[in-house]
Amino acid sequence: MSEVWFLVSVWIFLALVSTFISIWLGIATALSEIIVGMIAQAIIVGFFGGFSLGASESWITFLAGSGAILLTFLAGAELDPAVFKMKWKEVGLIGLAGFFAPFFGCAAVAYYYLQWNLMASWLCGVALSTTSVAVVYAVMLELGLNRTEYGKVVLGACFINDLGTVIALGLIFSPFTIKTIIFVLISILVFIALPKITTYFFRKYGNLPAEIETKYILLLLFAMGALAAWAGSEAVLPAYIIGMVLAGSVGKNQAFIRRLRTLTLGLLTPFYFLRAGSLVSISALIAAPFIFLILLATKMVTKFIGVYPAAKMAKYPKLEAIYTTLLMSTGLTFGTIASLFGLTHGIITKEQYSYLVAAVIASAVVPTIIANAFYLPRHLLHEDNEITSKNEKMPELLKEIK
């Protein structure tokens, strides 16, 4: 048992170091955890040959997996249901284009140009089809664009894009059997019934002690995750959709969401991102740096091919269309989740995983810099006329701040 406590101390120490780096440099904790995980593993292998960070230990896998499930749930719960009620055609069009174009484009480049096998190529497509709701959300908040109709459509499109990614990850790599049908049917029933049952449960038992709501949500997530895994699918698929369907109820319970965030960000996700980083092969990246650059460029070009025409069809002027395209070319959380899924299920090799994670990290940074430097639609910055719904969570935050 002492080995377990020693190892967990090492991981928590690395998580603490990552957090300090994040604060000092102003970078996302997830990014610093991935990088610290990469460096720590390289140092241990270099100086203490035969040792490792223990990323394949079952309890570390469990903590990391739980981190991915809860993070995905919370990401889904951040959805503002109001964005779908208005302009749903534009939201759907841009969101689906933002998913399908890079999905097929990156898979094609991996298959025909990089000569990856078929399943590895599909996984490449999934990992690089992602967008980052958080990047778009933060940029919109900084500029005040989230209060405009334009900002709401882009945020809604990002949720649709990520939903496409999660569904593709959950269904493409699982064998289609009777288990898949059972999983899909039960999931649909649960997703339909959940908002009412959960609202009733929270109303009746929500104020009892001993974190009864947390246990209820964890039960849901782990049980649906178990069903997904039994059907050969991925546990983050039901977690994201549960988050989305409960966004209007549980998502509005700020005190509960904050407690869940503390558990997730304080304990679980450090294991997830450190583990994701520790599995990256730095030597593979040094040996063939152009592969990751090709993957990054392919993601950005295919996002452009998909999102730009869709934004133009939605009658966006050129500047807004390019800005939307670049913002939707970002993505870290879901890209990492898809890549790690591929590695742990033997779909991609460690080298391919390393190229994908590097491309995913770069895609979280490069497009935003280009977008804000050259394509910012400045004329929208002072548009201040469109706070439409009292139920909107994202504008509420800004309304209070402003």
Partner 1 sequence: MIKKILVAYDGSEESYSAFLFGIDIAKKFEAELEVLSVVRVLEPPEEVETRDNLERGKEHYKKLFKKLNQEAKEKNIHIKTEIALGHPAEQIIRWAEKNHIDIIFLGHQTKNTFGRWLLGSTPDKVVHHAPCTVTIVKNNHSAK
Nearer CB in complex with partner 1: 294/327: 327
Interaction between residue 68 and partner 1 (CB under 8 A): no
Q: Is the Cβ–Cβ distance between 81 and 67 less than 8 Å?
A: no
**Cβ at position 31, least distance to partner 1 in Å:** 7
Q: Angle at CA 63, nearest 5°, toward 61 and 67?
A: 110
SS (H, E, C) 175-191: CCCHHHHHHHHHHHHHH
**Cβ at position 379, least distance to partner 1 in Å:** 14
Nearer CB in complex with partner 1: 64/75: 75
DSSP state of 129: S
**Cβ at position 147, least distance to partner 1 in Å:** 13
CA distance 154 to 373: 19
Interaction between residue 25 and partner 1 (CB under 8 A): yes
User: 362 vs 152, 253, 319, 355, 359, CA distance in Å?
Assistant: 25, 34, 23, 11, 5
Interface mask toward partner 1 for 366-385; x: CB under 8 A: --x-------------x---
Scanning residues 349 to 368, which ones bind partner 1 (CB under 8 A)?
364-365, 368
Interface mask toward partner 1 for 236-275; x: CB under 8 A: ------------------x---x--x--xx----------
Q: How far is CA 138 from the centre of its chain?
A: 15
Give the H/E segment covering residue 271.
Answer: helix 269-278
According to CB under 8 A, which one of 141, 288, 293, 297 is a site residue for partner 1?
141
Amino acid identity of residue 72, one-letter, is T
CA distance 331 to 158: 10
Nearer CB in complex with partner 1: 135/347: 135
Interaction between residue 66 and partner 1 (CB under 8 A): no
Interaction between residue 197 and partner 1 (CB under 8 A): no
Interaction between residue 22 and partner 1 (CB under 8 A): yes
CA distance 279 to 373: 34
What is the sign, positive or negative, of the torsion defined by CA atoms of 287, 293, 298, 299?
positive
Nearer CB in complex with partner 1: 217/347: 217
Contact positions toward partner 1, by CB under 8 A? 22, 24-31, 71, 74-75, 78, 132-135, 137-139, 141-142, 254, 258, 261, 264-265, 330, 332-333, 364-365, 368, 382, 397-398, 400-402
